[in-house]
């Protein structure tokens, strides 16, 4: 596929960037996207090194140099728009986005969250799952709306919670699934099979999805 038919993408990160790495590797295989830039809100994060190693342009826009959320998001929008992406991929981007930002990219932002949404929005999801003694946990890909971690869910991968799990072991198994479902959802979007309609519903292959695509713990993904 030549680059003209590849979906232009910008990825936002705040840390390790293992999801970014999975997306880069899928792109090196046959995921039809062009990652035009990876933007971090913190300097010295491993994810930016991963992007550089893959020959992808990087930028740092530190939120610490802005007086408030609005001014940061305004500058971030300007930076993102200079790369003219058709899709914005939040891959461990640990910032709450302003309504103006979300509206600007309506239907064009995907996020990954380490829980089976709508359960456990916010932080420390793995420990909260253990504390609640849930038997199932997992990860979700959703479209971003003004509702924090509350946008419509596209796809989920479940993992079983084992009796000897701690937050770290659980996080590691969830992350393995994240690395499979994020490239998959991006592929659906790039192939124009996936969108969000004006009512904020997920549309897949021309039909509204009443519930997300769910991969059970034993399912193979992709």
Q: Give me the 135-164 binding string for ligand GAR, x by CB under 6 A, dash otherwise.
A: ----x-------------------------
Considering beta carbons, is residue 153 or 175 the nearer one to ligand GAR?
Answer: 175
Q: Which of 31, 27, 79 is nearest to 54 (CA)?
A: 27
- CB-based contact 59:11 (threshold 8 Å): no
Cα→Cα distances 75→64, 80, 143, 209, Å: 13, 9, 22, 34
Sequence-separated (6 or more) residues with CB below 8 Å from residue 71 = none
DSSP SS3 for 210: coil
- CB-based contact 85:8 (threshold 8 Å): yes
Does 24 bind ligand GAR (CB under 6 A)? Our answer is no
In this chain, which stretch among 98-106, 109-117, 203-211, 213-221 interacts with ligand GAR, using CB under 6 A? Answer: 109-117
113 counts as catalytic: yes
Q: Say which of 63, 104, 113, 126 is annotated catalytic.
A: 113
Closest distance to ligand GAR from the beta carbon of 122 (Å): 7
Residues that bind ligand GAR (CB under 6 A): 13, 15-19, 47, 91-92, 112-114, 139, 175, 178
């Amino acid at each position: 596929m030549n680059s003209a038919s590849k979906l232009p993408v910008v990825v936002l990160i705040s840390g390790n960037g293992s999801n970014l790495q999975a997306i880069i590797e899928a792109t090196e295989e046959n995921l039809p996207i062009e990652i035009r830039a990876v933007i971090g809100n913190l300097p010295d994060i491993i994810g930016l090194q991963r992007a550089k190693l893959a020959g992808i342009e990087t930028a740092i826009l530190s939120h610490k140099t802005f007086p408030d959320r609005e001014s940061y998001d305004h500058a971030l929008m300007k930076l993102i728009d200079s790369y003219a992406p058709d899709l914005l991929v939040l891959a461990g981007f640990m910032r709450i986005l302003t309504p103006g930002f979300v509206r600007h990219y309506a239907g064009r932002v995907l996020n990954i969250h380490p829980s089976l949404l709508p359960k456990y929005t916010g932080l420390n999801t793995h420990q909260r799952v253990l504390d609640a003694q849930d038997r199932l946990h997992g990860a979700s890909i959703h479209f971003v709306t003004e509702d924090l971690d509350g946008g419509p869910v596209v796809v989920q991968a479940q993992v079983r919670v084992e009796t000897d799990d701690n937050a770290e072991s659980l996080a590691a198994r969830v992350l393995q699934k994240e690395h499979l479902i994020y490239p998959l959802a991006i592929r659906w979007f790039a192939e124009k099979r996936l969108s969000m309609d004006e009512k904020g519903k997920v549309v897949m292959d021309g039909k509204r999805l009443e519930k997300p695509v769910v991969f059970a713990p034993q399912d193979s993904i992709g």
